[in-house]
Amino acid sequence: MFTNKTLWILQVLMGVYFIGVGVLHFIVPEGLPGMMSWMYELDDNFHLIAGSAEILGGLGLILPGLTKIMPKLTIFAAKGLVLVMAGAVIWHLTRGEYSNAANNVVLAAIVAVIAYGRARRTPLVG
């Protein structure tokens, strides 16, 4: 479960996902699917904060290990994304959007596995 290859696959998949969702916070296109319609109700400042956190977190999952520059930042990026997803869970639960909250719990669990795996099992080397 915590092999270097498995963690890299998770890091790249989650990194690309969070970068993509982060970009959506900045452009908020018309016609988003129903599960993402909540984006239309967010304040502009919240879009800025959440989008920046997701883009930086996504980049932090990939770039430090890829460049071998400060690879421990990957752990901090993963932990930060766990916090972002915890906030998203709370946001969706208060709105009664239980399936969205469940999705965020799964995403939080995946980035928590990355944080744990890179901190304790298969650390990246610089």
pLDDT digits (tens, 9 = 90+) for 94-106: 999 999 999 999 9
Share of the chain above pLDDT 70, in %: 100
The domain ranges of the chain are 4-121
For range 55-74, the mean pLDDT: 98
Share of the chain above pLDDT 90, in %: 92
pLDDT in tens, 86-95: 999 999 999 9
Confidence of residue 126 (pLDDT cuts 50, 70, 90): confident
* Amino acid 9: pLDDT: 98
* Amino acid 35: pLDDT: 85
Return the HEC string of the chain: CCCHHHHHHHHHHHHHHHHHHHHHHHHCCCCCCHHHHHHHHCCHHHHHHHHHHHHHHHHHHHHHHHHCCCCCHHHHHHHHHHHHHHHHHHHHHHCCCHHHHHHHHHHHHHHHHHHHHHHHHCCCCC
For range 111-121, the mean pLDDT: 98
